[in-house]
Structure 1
């Protein structure tokens, strides 16, 4: 009996072991893979300038548009690769920097293209950190490239600071705005702040985009002037920002073939408001000798039809028409290029997402021009061509998963469920889905 009892206990023990093993195995097989997280593609608020990524601290990475977690990952990756990024190739491998974001920043990164190029280029080195040399209080609006370099900034950094000032319509306005300069880190700002001759706070009515900072208040001319002889500085002296002055000069030289012929030509320039035109009108003196066209050419030009932007579809507007409206070549080219990649815009909000555009001018254009998306190519996830999925800006990062899932689940609803994309990415993709 004892023998039978021990045999039964042994069998029972083996069964319990087998059951435990099977349970552990099934639990492991049900283990879920970690979900993929997608990186935000928000654009930086400030204008981007050339920079050395080895110099940027946490605050400066965030000013470029990265979140706290993304910034922490980038700085951790920097330590892993030895404390310095050697090349763009190496920086691109950091998974916190998406391909789209890297493409946006690539032209401004001061690094060799590849690791081998970096190791083989003895002339390449990262900016050496210098201590700042400040001996007296100063107004940063009055400093030149050389002045910033004498303080202790590199040539590239000094140029970036001046570019940021230009972005603010020619004046830093306040210590708050100066602190937001992407190239000036917290440490350097703390050293500079006691010496800055600027108001501490930004005026409530400050508007950098429309050129309404304190340095660019409306200025009434003291004498009459010929608008055909004014350069950018001349228009700025009349109260326009540098950006506005460039638009006026481009409008005159490109669209009007070199000269204003009538007061209406000046009035029709987009950046000259009705109020500003009435202010300038008594002082405008159009001199026939400075007009580039003869009277016959003038009559012929009046016969030419100008673009009616209220009837111009944003999905068919041309590069030349965008220039006519006042956009520069970079903005116009970016918009046409982005539209081509998408196959056409579905909403006006998409147009404002285009990199390197003058958002103020484009916003004005969008308030006038219509958008017809009826001819834009759309597909279901099941039937979408592989080439279209892999090349479309909104689908290319999910293309492989879509192609894989639809083999065994040819149903759009199931594919969306498996993709598990962020709501904002799914919303963009659904614009192009039937």
Structure 2
């Protein structure tokens, strides 16, 4: 009986060991590797690439970049997983449907930061500008410069806000008047407005209790154009030298050179409401007749953003052309302009058929002499920069360096546009 029990136990142990071995073999079976991602070969693609934002591309546009249907679907799905937006090149590079070679081909043209912006513990993006922090409702009349600093304004902004309050007579009077302080952006005002302990509207008798900041006596008013007045001209209207300089600075920096309306003039914080009413009948704003650009004499390497707008390009297109030109240091042929991303092809074709292209001022170097910074920042050279710098140490000869680089013909061709 004991022997039978012994054999039963032995059989049970053998069975358990067999099951464990089978289970171990099954669970330790290596997963099949993910099928290798291959890319559509398109030799002409790189030559036609221009700056693009991957967040704006639809399915057809990804296909045009050389991806297959399956790869495109994967990229779009990956974007959705990220919340519908790529925040950096680093993040886009992690998409397994984009190989390292393909990413290197596209990287110079991707309009994204290299890495994602860091966030603080509260979730605010870390930027150069401080976030405006509001603890509760407040009366801005009682705020000192330190209070505005604590809220997130810079020292100069805080000083300007206090000065504006003083020019109003020591009180902001109303939300309307507070909003007119040009230092406070519309975005910041919209954040502050619900917390302001001020009446919404300016009282009708506001002029009766503002301080008179200029001396009325002795001022002989004549019709004048505020865009034509220099320092002495503003002083003749009763402003101090410091006030006159502030008005000119406001006109040049904040208004980009000119008062466009009476409202622009009224918003200048050194001009009190009472002083503005004094001057108003004599202000004669003359409309500038803008000279039309002769595009047949306008160099495509110096054409401005405004001139591109004048020709008919929208702001996005004009910005793309100027941005791409700046990165290159200048265009070397008109085809580069035509290949700029996000532009009206027909309109740009018309422009380049009319306007000349002067390449004499575009920086060009030999591979041996090219500055390291230029190599590392130029869209056509940046991904070969380290190799060039390394090879030229022991091979200070352009021909040898080109051979060692072993670049695709289309890459070498566009790089040589900027080689002496």
Higher relative contact order structure (alpha carbons within 8 Å, sequence separation ≥ 6):
2
TM-score range, shorter chain: 0.3 to 0.5
Structure number with greater Rg is 2
Q: Using structure 1 for the length normalisation, give the TM-score.
A: 0.39
